[in-house]
A = this chain, B = another copy of it.
């Protein structure tokens, strides 16, 4: 047994990333010992998992929690359902897969008005239908706050899944759409600023074209993920997994037309939203050749280096993403280098 002095410390003290790494290690240890019997092609740690018994089956699960990931004061129940679905689906899209089915677990207090629950469910069904995917099952339980878990099944239709770790030196780095909008929308809500409703709308429901995952895979993407934890955080994960580094030109990162004005209105710099704000769920991919139509080329994959695997405009960024537990450590333990 390895030493685990942190077993008695709390989840908040140890941090989400260290715990996730440990959970992944447990999953790995418990896999069938004989490699030929191991049904996992891409296991925990990537956006989604694939299985050799169904070579092009992709599965991912994602949970949103009331007052942690959303507030009913700020988002309609319908938006909550849409958002939960889009962010779970983005992980499957980021494998280069099309969706084939969704299962949902809904938790809510027994005092919840039924209309709220049904509206969340309608939002889930609407987002699923937009993507052409049916809701095929679910569960309903009593919880203290509303908890929505969406599990998405997808297929790569015979193609290998587009993994997190496939970037090669010389590849072009590209995103499928604007980043930073969700963080800006949240900041506007917190500040009580009623303008720039398109940014607020993106915070409520990510505005991402999920079909771009299949398009990127067909275009020969060498690696792909979605921007859920912030651009820099995702790039740190991607470079660590692939053993490479990236140089990003911040001026080429696509931004919503209102982003600069919203930052001015709040008297802040918009760059932390762009680099550190998560939850836009745009797709982030590397390509050996051209990037697909509509994608923005934001940088290049370079050889691994000791410091700063991710450089923005030539420097290591100071902005990181966020943790679900809000207070993850910034020690080395918590860094993405512990991944994989």
Contact in complex: B113, A61 (CB < 8 Å)? no
A267 contacts the other chain (CB 8 A): no
How many copies of this chain sit in the oligomeric assembly? Answer: 2
Q: Is the CB of A61 within 8 A of B137?
A: yes
A143 neighbours in B (Cβ, 8 Å): 65, 68, 143-145, 147
CB pairs A–B below 8 angstroms (27 shown): A8-B113, A10-B114, A11-B110, A11-B113, A11-B142, A12-B110, A13-B114, A19-B114, A20-B140, A26-B118, A26-B121, A27-B138, A30-B129, A44-B135, A49-B101, A49-B103, A54-B155, A59-B136, A59-B137, A61-B104, A61-B139, A63-B141, A64-B141, A65-B141, A105-B149, A140-B324, A142-B326
Residue from B26, B27, B136, B142 within 8 A of A136 (CB atoms): B27
Closest residue of chain B to A9 (Cβ to Cβ) is: B114
Q: Which residues of B sit under 8 angstroms from A100, Cβ to Cβ?
A: 39, 51, 53-54
Chain B residues with Cβ under 8 A from A64's Cβ? 141
Chain A 1-27, CB within 8 Å of chain B: the 1/0 string? Answer: 000101111111110100110110011
What 10 pairs between A and B have smallest CB-CB spacing?
A49-B136, A12-B110, A7-B115, A144-B144, A30-B125, A27-B135, A49-B137, A151-B151, A149-B149, A61-B103
- Chain B proximity mask over A247-286: 1 for CB below 8 Å, otherwise 0: 0000000000000000000000000000000000000000
Size class of the contact patch on chain A: 35 or more
A313 at the interface (CB under 8 A from B): no
CB of A48 closer than 8 Å to a CB of B: yes
- A53 and B13 CA atoms in complex are apart in Å by 44
Q: List the B residue with the shortest CB-CB distance to A20.
A: B140
Contacts of A32 in B (CB 8 A): 132, 134
Answer whether residue A62 sits at the interface, using C-beta atoms and an 8 A cutoff.
yes
For the complex, would chain A's binding face be called helix, strand, loop or mixed by DSSP majority? mixed
Would A7 and B118 count as touching, CB distance under 8 A? yes
Report the Cα distance A142→B128, complex, angstroms.
25
Complex alpha-carbon distance, A18 and B60, angstroms: 29
Which residues of chain B come closer than 8 Å to A16, judged between CB atoms?
Answer: 140
Indicate if A122 sits at the interface (CB-CB under 8 A). yes
Contact of A61 among B8, B65, B105, B108 (CB under 8 A): B105
Give the residue of B61, B114, B144, B147 whose beta carbon is less than 8 angstroms from that of A138: B61
Which residues of A144-181 have CB atoms within 8 Å of chain B's CB atoms? 144-145, 147, 149, 151, 153, 155
- A118 vs chain B, min Cβ distance (A): 6
The docked-state distance in angstroms from the alpha carbon of A8 to that of B110 is: 13
Given A26-B121, A40-B136, A137-B44: A110 and B326 within 8 A (CB)? yes
Any chain B CB within 8 A of the CB of A112? yes
- Contact call A31/B65, Cβ cutoff below 8 A: no
B142 touching A65, Cβ below 8 Å = yes
